[in-house]
């Protein structure tokens, strides 16, 4: 788990004063490239780690070797916890490392560090193909979540004009590289895609948060609600097994080989095809995804999806056929 490694890297640097990527790799039993990425991640997050080039160089902490974390500033501790916090929700080892890290911090930093650790959830199950990048607003929103400050957003929902909203930020979710903000509004809890936020300004107003709120539990509720909507229409298709990863990229978790877990079931023709279950909000949504596959895919059921595919095919022939 990367969170464990980041904590281990920091503690090793504090005890030794200076380390090389090769030394870390040997100590942590990872590749040199992985050790270098961990060091760069700590530096990018604001932890005072810096490289010293040349013979006898390596990576050091500003201020030299220390035996505990008391040398970190509040901002540096917060940056570290933003990195390692999400993993603690899914790994007992990462959670234990985080608790040790909290105890090593000065008491005045602990509340903000714990808030930072709980500010972000990582959900690795994507909702289909997306352009994955970290929006510029993520850092400001994380600061607002930790500092419990209201944020004024300019938000352009799908197919809607951009509008100004004042929200209470509760937490951020990194869903397979696509970022979401859970926030309180005058209409209750809302979920905002961060890449649709065109402007964000942190205010001095304190943000409210429901008693007993946990980001992981709230996100589970959001996912369940969205998945119910996304799976209203189900279809069964036949496709060569080698193409299943492409379908999974299109449909995300709503693509399953019939019979999983334990492997797929063939179509009885001996042509290496498998039966795959797909789901989407409407028959048209499934048909639009499958239309470009042509004869590579066969829809077994339902008839509504087959009908939409036939209609799309007829439209294409009428528009682009030889006599069109």
Asked if the structure places residue 221 within a domain, the reply is no
Is residue 188 located within the same domain as residue 255?
Answer: no
What's the pLDDT score for residue 225?
84
What's the pLDDT score for residue 97?
59
Q: How big is the chain, counted in residues?
A: 324
Residue 43: partners with Cβ closer than 8 Å, 6 or more residues away: 49, 50
Domain boundaries, position 280: 231-320
**What distance in Å separates the CA atoms of residue 267 and residue 259, rounded to the nearest whole number?**
12
Asked if the structure places residue 226 within a domain, the reply is no
Asked if the structure places residue 301 within a domain, the reply is yes
Is residue 305 located within the same domain as residue 263?
Answer: yes
Asked if the structure places residue 225 within a domain, the reply is no
Is residue 180 located within the same domain as residue 131?
Answer: yes
Is residue 37 located within the same domain as residue 107?
Answer: yes
Asked if the structure places residue 149 within a domain, the reply is yes
What's the pLDDT score for residue 80?
63
Closest CA to 203 of 278, 140, 125, 279: 140
Is residue 156 located within the same domain as residue 57?
Answer: no
Asked if the structure places residue 220 within a domain, the reply is no
Note the pLDDT tens digit of each residue in 264-293: 455 555 457 999 999 988 999 999 999 999
Structure tokens at 65: 């070797």
**pTM of the prediction?**
0.52
| Segments of the chain with pLDDT less than 50 | 1, 64-67, 90, 261-264, 270
Is residue 105 located within the same domain as residue 127?
Answer: no
Domain count, the chain: 3
Write down the H helix ranges in the chain. Answer: 2-16, 21-28, 32-44, 74-88, 92-104, 107-117, 137-147, 215-230, 244-251, 283-290, 303-320
Domain final residue, candidates 215, 250, 279: 215
What's the pLDDT score for residue 132?
62
Q: What is the CATH number of the domain that holds 146?
A: 2.30.30
What's the pLDDT score for residue 69?
56
**What distance in Å separates the CA atoms of residue 170 and residue 181, rounded to the nearest whole number?**
8
């Amino acid at each position: 788990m990367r969170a464990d490694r980041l904590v281990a890297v920091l503690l090793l640097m504090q005890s030794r004063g200076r380390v090389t990527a090769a030394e870390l790799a040997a100590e942590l039993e990872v590749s040199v490239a992985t050790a270098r990425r961990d060091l760069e991640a700590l530096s990018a997050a604001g932890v005072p780690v810096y490289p010293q080039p040349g013979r006898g160089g390596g990576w050091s902490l500003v201020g030299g070797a220390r035996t505990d974390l008391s040398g970190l500033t509040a901002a540096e501790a917060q940056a570290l916890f933003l990195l390692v916090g999400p993993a603690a929700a899914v790994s007992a080892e990462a959670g234990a490392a985080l608790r040790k890290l909290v105890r090593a911090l000065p008491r005045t930093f602990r509340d903000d560090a714990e808030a930072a650790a709980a500010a972000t959830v990582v959900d690795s199950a994507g909702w289909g193909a997306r352009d994955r990048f970290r929006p510029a607003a993520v850092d400001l929103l994380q600061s607002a979540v930790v500092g419990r400050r209201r944020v004024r957003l300019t938000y352009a929902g799908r197919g809607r004009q951009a509008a100004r909203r004042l929200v209470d930020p509760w937490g951020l979710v990194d869903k397979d590289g696509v970022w979401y903000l859970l926030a309180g509004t005058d209409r209750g809890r809302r979920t905002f895609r961060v890449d649709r936020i065109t402007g964000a300004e942190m205010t001095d107003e304190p943000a409210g948060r429901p008693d007993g709120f946990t980001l992981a539990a709230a996100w589970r509720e959001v996912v369940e609600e969205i998945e119910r909507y996304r799976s209203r229409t189900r279809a069964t298709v036949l496709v060569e097994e080698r193409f299943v990863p492409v379908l999974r990229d299109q449909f995300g978790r709503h693509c399953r080989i019939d019979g999983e877990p334990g492997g797929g079931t063939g179509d009885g023709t001996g042509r290496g095809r498998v039966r795959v279950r797909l789901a989407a909000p409407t028959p048209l949504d499934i048909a639009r995804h499958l239309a470009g596959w042509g004869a590579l895919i066969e829809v077994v059921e339902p008839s509504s999806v087959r009908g939409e595919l036939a209609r799309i095919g007829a439209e294409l022939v009428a528009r682009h056929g030889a006599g069109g």
